[in-house]
């Protein structure tokens, strides 16, 4: 088991290096640079810079350096913790990333926990009560969840929360807490807000996973070892949860790796609609503005989050299914 984990961590670093190289190249790929973007802005305002000034700035920022040199400059500082400056915000990229990354991680993890819990419970119920009225009702909601896009759901939930429940929507805190220091009240206020993005981001995933859970469990319930468990005289509850559900879970863990990117990209759209202080909107803007060091830093940290998520999924799978450990 330990060997397995070490090997997986090794793969993680190799993948990360590839992600950094490819990501950097793609961000550099479009013509132009932030300098041109800034020049245009100044010219629009009526000002201008002399050719010599522009030349000096180009040299200062290394705009015309070959890409490998740029990459080297970036990566060699990156490992020491200096992620470069954001052109747009005139701040270290590091400050911006670390101010927002925790919210993305918190929301993603909570969304995962939410969708897993709901889909296991719902999936087990509908598999063990197949073709009952409630099973059909669940199926209807599953298909709605699968087909409604997240941004639309976000808007609907916003309207519903504001009009019917009278809640303050948008953002993660009420106005009075936005700049307040952490306190119990602020935490309670956070909980009041955070369920909306969790439900909205998780809806699609939950609908999908509960479908997967239902069909897996139906397969497993037909397996001979479930009959064996019953022939031992076990309680039906124990037959289902110990012998069947455990074996129906591993496709769910396998799709965990796939559902993480879906959650992070879904989170971007929802965060823009709901005005959440997560990485998504800022990353999106940095890409549009060619604010490259900020964009690259976001890319790396999102990639790290994903890779760690996948690593955890692999370890969980190995723990769940003894057949994987010995390969």
Partner 1 sequence: MEAKTANGQPPVLSINNLKTYFFTDLGVSRALNGVSFDVPYGRVMGLVGESGCGKSVTSLSVMRLVPKPGRIVEGSIIFNRGERTKDGYKVIESVEMTELEANGPKARSIRGAEMGMIFQEPMTSLNPSYTVGNQVAETIILHQDVNRREAMDRAVDIVGRVGLPNPADLVKRYPHELSGGMRQRAMVALALSCRPALLFADEPTTALDVTTEAQILDLMRELQGEMGMTIVFITHNLGVVAQMCDTVGVMYLGRIVEMADVETLFYDPKHPYTAALLRSIPHVGSTTKERLAPIRGVVPDPYATINGCPFHPRCDSFMPGVCDAAVPAETNIGDGHMVRCLLYSDKGEVEDNG
Tell me the window of 71-79, 111-119, 241-249, 268-276 that interacts with partner 1 (CB under 8 A): 241-249
**DSSP class per residue in 256-276:** HHHHHHHHHHHHHHHHHHHT-
- Single residue of 68, 98, 225, 241 touching partner 1 by CB under 8 A: 225
Q: Is 76 exposed, middle or buried (0-12, 13-18, 19+ CB in 10 A)?
A: exposed
Q: Is 235 in the site for partner 1 (CB under 8 A)?
A: yes
Q: Residues 185-224 vs partner 1: string with x where CB under 8 A?
A: --------------------------------------xx
For residue 85, the SS3 value is strand
Size of the site for partner 1 (CB under 8 A): 21
Least Å distance, CB 115 to partner 1, is 23
Q: Is 85 in the site for partner 1 (CB under 8 A)?
A: no
Least Å distance, CB 220 to partner 1, is 10
Token reading at 102: 């925790």
The residue among 76 and 228 lying less far from partner 1, judged by its C-beta, is 228
Q: Please count the other Cβ atoms lying within 10 Å of the Cβ belonging to residue 326.
A: 8
What is the rounded distance in angstroms from the CA atom of residue 320 to the CA atom of residue 222?
20
Please give the DSSP secondary-structure letter assigned to residue 83.
-
Q: Is 247 in the site for partner 1 (CB under 8 A)?
A: yes
Least Å distance, CB 122 to partner 1, is 21
Least Å distance, CB 258 to partner 1, is 23
What is the rounded distance in angstroms from the CA atom of residue 253 to the CA atom of residue 212?
11
The residue among 108 and 126 lying less far from partner 1, judged by its C-beta, is 126
CB of 74 closer than 8 Å to CB of 293: yes
Least Å distance, CB 226 to partner 1, is 8
Q: Is 254 in the site for partner 1 (CB under 8 A)?
A: no
What is the rounded distance in angstroms from the CA atom of residue 315 to the CA atom of residue 253?
10
Q: Is 64 in the site for partner 1 (CB under 8 A)?
A: no
Q: Is 327 in the site for partner 1 (CB under 8 A)?
A: no
Q: At what angle do helices 250-274 and 93-128 cross, to 10 degrees?
A: 130
């Amino acid at each position: 088991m330990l060997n397995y984990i070490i090997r997986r961590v090794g793969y993680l670093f190799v993948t990360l290096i590839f992600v950094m190289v490819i990501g950097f190249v793609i961000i550099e790929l479009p013509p132009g640079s932030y300098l041109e973007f800034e020049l245009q802005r100044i010219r629009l305002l009526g000002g201008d810079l002399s050719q010599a000034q522009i030349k000096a700035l180009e040299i200062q920022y290394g705009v015309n350096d070959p890409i490998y040199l740029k990459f080297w400059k970036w990566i060699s500082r990156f490992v020491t913790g200096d992620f470069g400056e954001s052109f747009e915000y005139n701040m270290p990229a590091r400050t911006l990333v670390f101010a927002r990354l925790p919210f993305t991680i918190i929301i993603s993890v909570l969304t995962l926990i939410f969708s897993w819990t709901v889909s296991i419970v719902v999936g087990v119920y509908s598999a063990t009560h197949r073709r009952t009225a409630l099973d059909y009702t669940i199926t209807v909601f599953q298909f709605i969840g699968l087909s409604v896009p997240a941004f639309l759901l976000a808007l609907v939930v916003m309207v519903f929360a504001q009009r019917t429940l009278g809640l303050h929507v948008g953002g993660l805190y009420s106005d009075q807490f936005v700049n307040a220091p952490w306190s119990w009240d602020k935490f309670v206020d956070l909980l009041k807000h955070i369920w909306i993005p969790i439900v909205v981001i998780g809806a699609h995933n939950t609908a999908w996973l509960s479908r997967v859970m239902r069909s897996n469990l139906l397969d497993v319930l037909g397996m001979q070892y479930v009959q064996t468990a019953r022939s031992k005289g076990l309680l039906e509850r124990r037959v289902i949860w110990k012998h069947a559900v455990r074996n129906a879970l591993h496709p769910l863990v396998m799709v965990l790796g796939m559902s993480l990117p879906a959650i992070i990209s879904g989170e971007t759209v929802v965060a823009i609609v709901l005005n959440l202080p997560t990485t998504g909107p800022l990353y999106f803007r940095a890409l549009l503005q060619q604010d490259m060091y900020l964009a690259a830093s976001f890319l790396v940290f999102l990639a790290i989050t994903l890779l760690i998520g996948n690593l955890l999924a692999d370890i969980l799978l190995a723990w769940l299914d003894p057949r994987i450990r010995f390969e």
